[in-house]
Chain A
Amino acid sequence: MRHTISVIVENEFGVLSRVAGLFSGRGFNIDSLSVAPTNEESISRMTIVTRGDEQILEQITKHLNKLIDVIKVIDFADEDSIEREMALIKVSAEDSDRAEILRIVDIFRAKIIDVTPKSYTIEATGSPSKIDAILELLRPLGLKELVRTGPVAIGRGAKGWKG
């Protein structure tokens, strides 16, 4: 089962490697990981997408909580949440395909952020499944390069993570 987990951590050196080391040392999967500081300078937030059965997920969240630098772990399987991911996509854009690519970009409310006579670079934002969908349409036209951020997630409603 796929889980998206937010990990609220102290904004200190070495924290990322503690978290990454925990996953590799215990054989847990990481599908994606993104990390950046939050509105509080001393706190960073990681979003980790992982997979495993219920027992593994329980161990993952327990082990994350056990790390001294981890302040809070939120497993979004238990909560109503929104996920967003960004992709930068470089596609071949020969004359015959240019109009079709623009149409796809328009449908997905994506943006062209760089143009050459032979290529477009597209910025797309949305849920991971939306990114998958635009990629599926662009792939036959010739994907030259793809960068995905991995999703970030936030709980729905008025409350922040501190409750």
Chain B
Amino acid sequence: MKLAGAKILLECLKLEGVDTVFAYPGGTVINIFDELYSCPEIKNILPRHEQAAVHAADGYARASGKVGVAIATSGPGATNTVTGIATAYMDSIPLVVITGQVPTALIGNDAFQEVDIIGITRPCTKHNFLVKNVKDLPAIVKKAFYIARTGRPGPVLIDLPKDVQVATTEFKYPDSIELRGYKPTIEGHPRQIAKASNLLLSAKKPVIYVGGGVVLANAADALFRLSTTLNAPVTTTLMGLGAFPEDNPLSLGLLGMHGTYYANMAVMNCDLLVAVGARFDDRVTGKVAAFAPQAKIIHIDVDPTSIRKNVRVDLPIVGDVSDVLSKLTDVLGDFPEAVDNFRNNVKPWLGEIEAWKAKHPLTYKHAASVIKPQMVIQKLKELSKDDAIIATDVGQHQMWTAQFFRFTRPRTLLTSGGLGTMGFGLPAAMGAQVAFPNRQVIAICGDGGFQMNLQEMATLVQNKLPVKICVMNNNFLGMVRQWQELFFDKRYSNTVMDLPIDFVMLAEAFGAKGFQATKPEEVEDVIKKGFKTSGPVIMEFKIAREEKVLPMVPAGASLSEMVLAS
């Protein structure tokens, strides 16, 4: 039977296992929405902005591991998706974003709501497609999903002109597709893995440095097995949080600009650094020339371009990190005596690390009269469920969450690490709640970031998504203010947001509930009330206005030059 392009698109989505999309209507996608109207197998969560649609699909993907799908119309709808796409691209999140396009005959004519979204998104997608013929559509959708979720995952955009949605053809979903230019390396090279095991066993001061790749590859178990087999300490990047349980004594927590003293000291003094699914971002390395100066570096990553991009690497292993970590641990299993020796040899190193932990633990100054944000994060951890999913915006509250929440499970922290997108938290939490209707989902935002996508309160209420939103309100763009305090002589240029917004009333305006805490003793009560209330809730915490995120390595300085909490 012949089907129209719009119908074929939905048939393809169903065959890819898609049951939820985040789609915003418009002139060039009206045919797709017409098909959605009579497609009970695919549910749409109607957001209030296309940027939020993509962030929600992104949060859905990060929390569930599935490919997130967003749909937007041409022109402004398409350009609104760009920040969401770039966010997903920087953090390697698998998305398929479908945009409407003006009819093929009008492309290039500056038609109404026309924009060259293929050109615009070329540098921030893993790949993108303009569909010129409805006959090509099934293969393109199949390729898009395959490219999005395999290798180093990432967003793929399909631009679908209106006439292609209307045109009909015989529908057949291809069983397989041929992409002769795309063959990601999944299995690590056995000889490299054997060399890695030798290097590991000869180390006395090892550190495993873990990035988001471990979360994306579902390799947390494989990592745990390697680390505990060797008794080797683990530090994670922001994107790697949750890949290794922070309540394990081998955990060093976060490293880098706002990392722990002991994680940064361990990296600076180790003799072997095993980087797994991480890319040596400048926020991690500080001054590259001074990074891990005594260490041999093993770098395991699915993306060969990540290797030797920023730092020298002694032993690269390209492959799926789960596959490589498992095989590496298996190889070590063949040398039980050497592993025993290693565990003995590493004891003095673990002792050194314990001493660093005791000397400068992660801490903050408590206060009786004002709410310390770190305390709020600790209370949230204490009162939330073990499998709660946390989404953040970007800035101080994000770093306090990274430092003080102590994540223990993968895919429980959703945060924009690479692009650093303010406004990400609320829609990402929304997407996660859609993926897991029965889990506790908490958005931790600053007052600045929250205001960048607060229109999504309407989506939460309309779809009965019980996201609990914590607004850490200091009436500042806090992170920029912190830099202004430290490096610009306290000249708080345009970081003061002094309009006292009533967040409780704001919640009520959307038909949600709001609570406010202004004193430390109210924090616990507000969180308990918020968690107990059904439906979406805003919990506003009036926090110490000029609290800083510490420790801090100034931009461009070496990791050993930390400003510590006094």
A interface residues (Cβ-Cβ under 8 A, vs B):
9-10, 13-14, 17-18, 21, 25, 55, 58-59, 62-63, 65-71
B122 and A58 contacting across the interface, CB-CB below 8 Å: no
A59 and B179 contacting across the interface, CB-CB below 8 Å: no
Q: Which A residues are in CB contact (< 8 Å) with B147?
A: 68
B122 and A18 contacting across the interface, CB-CB below 8 Å: yes
Query: Is B182 interfacial (CB 8 A cutoff)?
Result: yes
B118 and A9 contacting across the interface, CB-CB below 8 Å: no
User: Shortest CB–CB separation between residue B137 and chain A, in angstroms?
Assistant: 16
B119 and A17 contacting across the interface, CB-CB below 8 Å: yes
Taking a contact as CB atoms closer than 8 A, the residue among A10, A63, A71 that contacts B305 in the complex is A63
Taking a contact as CB atoms closer than 8 A, the residue among B126, B127, B130, B181 that contacts A71 in the complex is B181
Closest residue of A by beta carbon distance from B312? A55
Q: Which B residues are in CB contact (< 8 Å) with A69?
A: 181
Query: Is B172 interfacial (CB 8 A cutoff)?
Result: no
A59 and B181 contacting across the interface, CB-CB below 8 Å: no
How far is it, in angstroms, between the C-alpha of A17 and the C-alpha of B201 when the chains are bound? Answer: 47
Query: Is B532 interfacial (CB 8 A cutoff)?
Result: no
- Say whether, besides A9-B181, A70-B181, A71-B180, A65 and B122 are in contact (CB < 8 Å): no
How far is it, in angstroms, between the C-alpha of A55 and the C-alpha of B147 when the chains are bound? Answer: 27
Query: Is B303 interfacial (CB 8 A cutoff)?
Result: yes
Kindly supply a per-residue 1/0 record for chain B positions 106-150, scoring 1 wherever the CB is within 8 Å of any chain A CB and 0 otherwise. Answer: 000000000000110011001100100000000000000001000
How far is it, in angstroms, between the C-alpha of A9 and the C-alpha of B309 when the chains are bound? Answer: 24
Query: Is B535 interfacial (CB 8 A cutoff)?
Result: no
Q: Which B residues are in CB contact (< 8 Å) with A25?
A: 123
Taking a contact as CB atoms closer than 8 A, the residue among A10, A17, A55, A70 that contacts B122 in the complex is A17
How far is it, in angstroms, between the C-alpha of A25 and the C-alpha of B122 when the chains are bound? Answer: 11
User: Shortest CB–CB separation between residue A62 and chain B, in angstroms?
Assistant: 4
The A-B contact count (CB < 8 A) is 36
User: Shortest CB–CB separation between residue A37 and chain B, in angstroms?
Assistant: 16
A58 and B308 contacting across the interface, CB-CB below 8 Å: yes
Q: Which A residues are in CB contact (< 8 Å) with B309?
A: 59
Q: Which A residues are in CB contact (< 8 Å) with B130?
A: 13-14
Q: Which B residues are in CB contact (< 8 Å) with A14?
A: 118, 122, 130
B interface residues (Cβ-Cβ under 8 A, vs A):
118-119, 122-123, 126-127, 130, 147, 179-182, 303-305, 308-309
Q: Which A residues are in CB contact (< 8 Å) with B181?
A: 9-10, 67-71
A66 and B305 contacting across the interface, CB-CB below 8 Å: yes
User: Shortest CB–CB separation between residue B132 and chain A, in angstroms?
Assistant: 9
B304 and A65 contacting across the interface, CB-CB below 8 Å: yes
Closest residue of A by beta carbon distance from B152? A66
Q: Which B residues are in CB contact (< 8 Å) with A65?
A: 304
User: Shortest CB–CB separation between residue B183 and chain A, in angstroms?
Assistant: 10
Q: Which B residues are in CB contact (< 8 Å) with A67?
A: 181
User: Shortest CB–CB separation between residue B141 and chain A, in angstroms?
Assistant: 15
A68 and B122 contacting across the interface, CB-CB below 8 Å: no
How far is it, in angstroms, between the C-alpha of A71 and the C-alpha of B181 when the chains are bound? Answer: 4
Taking a contact as CB atoms closer than 8 A, the residue among B123, B180, B303 that contacts A66 in the complex is B303
Q: Which B residues are in CB contact (< 8 Å) with A18?
A: 122
How far is it, in angstroms, between the C-alpha of A18 and the C-alpha of B122 when the chains are bound? Answer: 7
Closest residue of A by beta carbon distance from B124? A25
Closest residue of A by beta carbon distance from B318? A62
How far is it, in angstroms, between the C-alpha of A9 and the C-alpha of B118 when the chains are bound? Answer: 18
Closest residue of B by beta carbon distance from A66? B305
A21 and B122 contacting across the interface, CB-CB below 8 Å: yes
User: Shortest CB–CB separation between residue A16 and chain B, in angstroms?
Assistant: 11
Q: Which B residues are in CB contact (< 8 Å) with A68?
A: 126-127, 147, 179, 181-182
How far is it, in angstroms, between the C-alpha of A25 and the C-alpha of B305 when the chains are bound? Answer: 15
Taking a contact as CB atoms closer than 8 A, the residue among A13, A17, A55 that contacts B308 in the complex is A55
B304 and A62 contacting across the interface, CB-CB below 8 Å: yes
User: Shortest CB–CB separation between residue A2 and chain B, in angstroms?
Assistant: 21
- State the 6 A-B residue pairs at the shortest beta-carbon distance, nearest first: A62-B305, A68-B127, A71-B181, A68-B182, A62-B304, A70-B181
Most interface-central of A9, A14, A25 (chain B CB within 10 A): A14
Q: Which A residues are in CB contact (< 8 Å) with B118?
A: 14
How far is it, in angstroms, between the C-alpha of A59 and the C-alpha of B311 when the chains are bound? Answer: 12
User: Shortest CB–CB separation between residue B104 and chain A, in angstroms?
Assistant: 12
How far is it, in angstroms, between the C-alpha of A63 and the C-alpha of B118 when the chains are bound? Answer: 19
How far is it, in angstroms, between the C-alpha of A10 and the C-alpha of B143 when the chains are bound? Answer: 15
How far is it, in angstroms, between the C-alpha of A99 and the C-alpha of B181 when the chains are bound? Answer: 53
How far is it, in angstroms, between the C-alpha of A66 and the C-alpha of B123 when the chains are bound? Answer: 13
Some 6 contacts from A to B, beta carbons below 8 A apart, are A13-B130, A14-B130, A66-B303, A68-B127, A68-B181, A71-B180
Q: Which B residues are in CB contact (< 8 Å) with A62?
A: 304-305
How far is it, in angstroms, between the C-alpha of A13 and the C-alpha of B181 when the chains are bound? Answer: 15
Closest residue of A by beta carbon distance from B180? A71
